[in-house]
Amino acid sequence: MIVKPRVRGFICTTAHPIGCAANVAEQVRYVRERPSLSKGPKNVLVIGASGGYGLPSRITAAFGSGAATLGLSFEKPPTDTKTASAGWYNNRAFDKLAAEAGLWAKTLDGDAFSDEMKAETIDLIKREMGPIDLVVYSLASPVRKDPDTGELYRSAIKPLGQTFHVKTLNVDKAEVHEVDLEPANDEETEATVKVMGGEDWERWMNALAGAGVLAPGCRTVSYTYIGSELTWPIYWHATLGKAKEDLDRAARAIGKRLVDVGGDAKVAVLKCVTTQSSAAIPVVPLYASLLFKVMKEQGSHETCMEHVQRLFETQLYGDGEQRLDEERRIRVDDRELSDQVQDEVKQRWPRVTTENLDELTDFAGFRYDFLRIFGFGVPGVDYEAEVDPQSIEPLA
């Protein structure tokens, strides 16, 4: 079949197998060109490994540190007539490149929130990997089934307390407009904490520690976003922020659990990038488009891969001191939150309109990044060629 992007709002329902594989190869090339991590991890579990921030974490561990990696994700396989989700192709591309490099890699597909997936993972670690020295928790999901009660929780991306009137961007129509975002009720807030908070991270670490599969000095890191005043009403001071606050609680609890193995649990605050999850958050596409423009102009823009590489090189496995805040979170969002960047973004924010969108913002860059997630727009890929949706190999 010939695969074209089919965008519906903030998702693309098709993915290009060859384009996704080329994306992964590009990220691997980037890491290979960086100095290797001399003190890097050797046996790594990445929960949420197929895209966004999880995939570069896996790539850095494998190709920057020579680590064996076990990746977990929840992706849609292809059918004869439909393409798979992008992450499904990314996983295959990663596994292939790892095998070619002689690196142990396995990918499990299923619900990481479930106890079955945890048991299967532990079993695989025991049989094939040996003790884990880094666990990256990079899940982003709209739903979670509580394994104890069977109850299904859905997250709600909403402000708290009062209606938030804000400027936003209709990505399909390239239109800036204003919306009223209604506040969440208590039930919605609690559900969001259940889905995106620290409970499942804690459950994972308890299960791994209980099974004795954590190496001495094992580290675990979970990713969060804080952002600036522009996004706080819909993120940090909203339902998602409540969930992310719960990660801080979980980090402390996991830290205590890991004392036996001399381990460490940290939350890392990352910058705003275009991923399947971030594109779905109201306000974020407009904020990201502005941010990218300003950071590119000022020479401080980073891709997802570059950002994660900096996290590993300078914070997780660097020689210097970690940049920690008062909650002991690792801060790599320093460039995004610098006064130089934020002052300019805030100055442009009230001025952005549909008419000057391309002039004041990098909406084109946001869109480009968005399509690239699904394997479209990758230089060198022939999008007119027939592809097999079951395979990341070009048809002969």
By CB under 6 A, what part of segment 10-49 binds ligand NAD?
Answer: 48-49
Of 323, 317, 331, 319, give the one whose Cα is nearest residue 67: 317
Binder among 25, 34, 106, 111 for ligand NAD (CB under 6 A) = 111
Residue 73 binds ligand NAD, judged by CB under 6 A: yes
Q: Report the alpha-carbon distance of residue 30 to residue 306 in Å, rounded.
A: 8
Which of these segments, 50-58, 161-169, 343-351, 356-364, binds ligand NAD (CB under 6 A)?
50-58
> Which residue among 17, 18, 27, 53 contacts ligand NAD (CB under 6 A)?
53
Site residues (CB under 6 A) for ligand NAD, limited to 287-316: none
Strands (E), the chain: 7-8, 11-12, 43-47, 68-73, 105-109, 132-137, 143-145, 152-154, 164-170, 175-181, 214-224, 264-269, 330-331
112 vs 212, which CB is nearer to ligand NAD?
A: 112
Does 224 interact with ligand NAD (rule: CB under 6 A)?
Answer: yes
Provide, rounded to whole angstroms, the least separation between the CB of residue 262 and ligand NAD.
Answer: 26
Give how far Cα 107 sits from Cα of 125, 249, 341, Å.
12, 29, 38
Stretch that binds ligand NAD, among 165-173, 205-213, 268-276, 295-303 (CB under 6 A): 268-276
Which member of 75, 199, 202, 264 binds ligand NAD (CB under 6 A)? 75
Q: CA-CA distances (angstroms) from residue 257 to 146, 147, 203, 220, 328? A: 22, 21, 11, 12, 17
* Dihedrals phi, psi of 48, to nearest 5 degrees: 95, 55
Active-site annotation holds for 153: no
Which candidate, 242, 236, 235, places its Cα nearest to that of 194? 242
Q: How many residues bind ligand NAD (CB under 6 A)?
A: 29
Q: Which of 14, 275 has the CB closer to ligand NAD?
A: 275
Q: Which of 21, 31, 70, 72 binds ligand NAD (CB under 6 A)?
A: 72
First to last CA, the chain: 14
CB–CB of 87/52 below 8 Å? no
Scan residues 124-183 and list those touching ligand NAD (CB under 6 A). 138-141
**Residue located via tokens 């009403």:** 233
Nearest to 193 by CA among 232, 147, 244: 244
Of the two residues 62 and 140, which places its CB atom closer to ligand NAD in the complex?
140
Cβ distance to ligand NAD smaller for residue 154 or 165: 154
Q: Which residues bind ligand NAD (CB under 6 A)?
A: 48-54, 72-75, 87, 111-113, 138-141, 223-225, 270, 272-273, 275-278
Q: Any idea which residues carry the catalytic annotation? A: 235
